[in-house]
Amino acid sequence: MNDAERLERIEDAVLRLREAASGNAVVVEGLRDRAALEELGVGGEHIVVNQGVPLQEVVDRIAQQAASAGWDMVLLIMDWDRTGNSMEERLHRGLAGRVAVDVGFRARLRRLTHTSSLEEVPAEMASLRRRVGGRP
């Protein structure tokens, strides 16, 4: 796949992520990941996992917030490394049966980008745009 095709597919994934996140929650690992969501124009509730709180407490909070806020689903977008894989699995398992969980966007971005985390996606998109002569 050439750069233009890859950029188009990443942009499509981000557009679909924006649509799915609207009225729902997106769970990320850190503050830079949350900043990337904002830079990508992804709305919804942004929940950062790594804040010095035990993961089970985070899971319980997410499930409670989902019920009170009326979220249809929670989107998990952890880094695509060993730690992110483990965290996603633990969050998914903990939320199962309590709220619908989507991990598809993480998998799609992992497959399409040459990055290791969500925080790097905006920079990769900008780089691809420069290479294909598109908008900044």
- pLDDT, tens digit, 9 for 90 and up, residues 58-103: 999 999 999 899 999 999 999 999 999 999 999 999 999 999 999 9
* Residue of 109 and 50 predicted with greater confidence: 109
Residue 53: the pLDDT is: 87
CATH of 3-129, one of 3.10.180.10, 3.40.1360.10, 3.40.50.1000, 3.40.605.10: 3.40.1360.10
Percent of the chain with pLDDT strictly greater than 90: 89
Residue 47: the pLDDT is: 95
Model confidence band, residue 110 (pLDDT cutoffs 50, 70, 90): very high
Residue 50: the pLDDT is: 87
Q: What is the mean pLDDT of residues 112-136?
A: 89
DSSP symbols for the chain? --HHHHHHHHHHHHHHHHHHHTTSEEEESSHHHHHHHHHTT--SEEEES-SSS-HHHHHHHHHHHHHHHT-SEEEEE--SSHHHHHHHHHHHHHHTTTSEEE-HHHHHHHHH-S-SSGGGHHHHHHHHHHHHT---
